[in-house]
Each structure stands twice: as structure tokens, then as C-alpha cells.
Amino acid sequence: MSHILLITSSPRGADSLSSRFANEIAAGLKASTGGNLTVRDLAASPPPHITPAYIQGRITAPAERTVEQVEAVRIAQVLVDELHAADVLVLGSGMINFGPSSQLKAWFDHVTWPGVTFNYGDAGPRGLLIGKKVYLVTAAGGRFAEGVWAAFDFQTNYLLHLLGFIGLTEVELIRIEGTVLGPDALKAAITNTETTIAALLTNPM
């Protein structure tokens, strides 16, 4: 039985298309596989920004950590444990000022952990979270997949890089684009995404 981890991060609430479609994918995977589902809404319960307590705490022996370091490392460990337990990660991200939300950035800052989710060897960095499938749902008001605006997509490339850095290289990317370019563009974006997801869920794993 597979374990699915759903992470949403858009601060747009009920208006978020990245959250809507990430939820649809996770629900479809759960229904088709009979797997378990863990949900983490980073907008509703954002992780804290990392502090010196986290930076120092994660390299300090547990018995020698301060109270603040213990709590900072505990938060990161919970997030990492969720990743370790998951066979499938469904990640929703809405573009904010050309990049991911600060909530999602903070999540990555916690789970990108030397010696835990990646390490360095003679050949360079090596991700440790291997063998997992990722469905990455990104939403943007403009069109960034190609054309003149592609150079300004600091969301998708950043997320793909960090996922790969910690070993999550098997990524299915679902882009929702052009949502602020008028009613017809929004309708087309939604329709195209619905078609894409329906196709994915016919052969999900």
C-alpha cells in the first residue's frame, strides 16, 4: 500500500488552482491505490523561517542542544519524517513574485538537511530521498513554460532543482499558466489541467 504526502503552499486559499489540482491528484491516487494520505497545508500552518537555533542545532549532538535548538530541530525532523514515510509526493505551488511562496521556501530550508536528505561524496552532492514519485503542480498568472517570460520562471526551475538535490528526481510536472490573461485563458488553463490530470490518473504509478 502506497503512502501519499500532499503539500500545498499557496496563500490564495480557496482561489488557489495549484492547491485545487494538487488535492485532486492526491485524492485520485488515494482512490486508485488504496493508499494512505498525509496532508500538510503550508499556508494554513507555515513552518517558521530558519534561525541560528536550527542552523547550529542540526550539527550539535542531541544531548548538547539548547532548548531552542531542540525545538528547531524537532520541527525539521517532523517534516523530514513525513518525506521519508511517503512513496509519492504531491506538491502544489503558486507563483508569488516569480518564485514559490515564502512558506514553501521555508519548508525546503528545513528538509534540505546535510547528512539526512543529501550528502557530499567524491562525485559531489547526492540526494538521499530516492525511489519516490513526485507530482509537481505549479500555477502562474502568466505563461512561463516558453517564450520571452521563460527566463523569469524562478519557481519551476528552483523547485525542480531542490527536489532533485535531495534525491527526488522522478517528477511529473503539471503547469497551470495564463490564469490572469482573461476569462478565456483562465478557462482554457483549467480545462487543459483537468485533461492532463485525468490522463495521469489512468496510469498513476
- 10 labeled part of a ligand binding site: yes
Is residue 100 a contact partner of residue 39, using CB atoms and an 8 Å limit? no
- 181 labeled part of a ligand binding site: no
- 16 labeled part of a ligand binding site: yes
- 17 labeled part of a ligand binding site: yes
For 146-159, letters b (16+ CB in 10 Å) and e give eeeeeeebebbebb
**Measured distance CA(51)–CA(57) in Å, rounded:** 10
Closest residue by Cα to residue 25 from 201, 202, 165: 201
Q: Tell me how far apart the terminal alpha carbons of the chain are, to the nearest angstrom.
A: 12
Q: Pick out the residues of the known binding site.
A: 10, 16-18
Q: Pick out the residues of the known binding site for FMN.
A: 10, 16-18
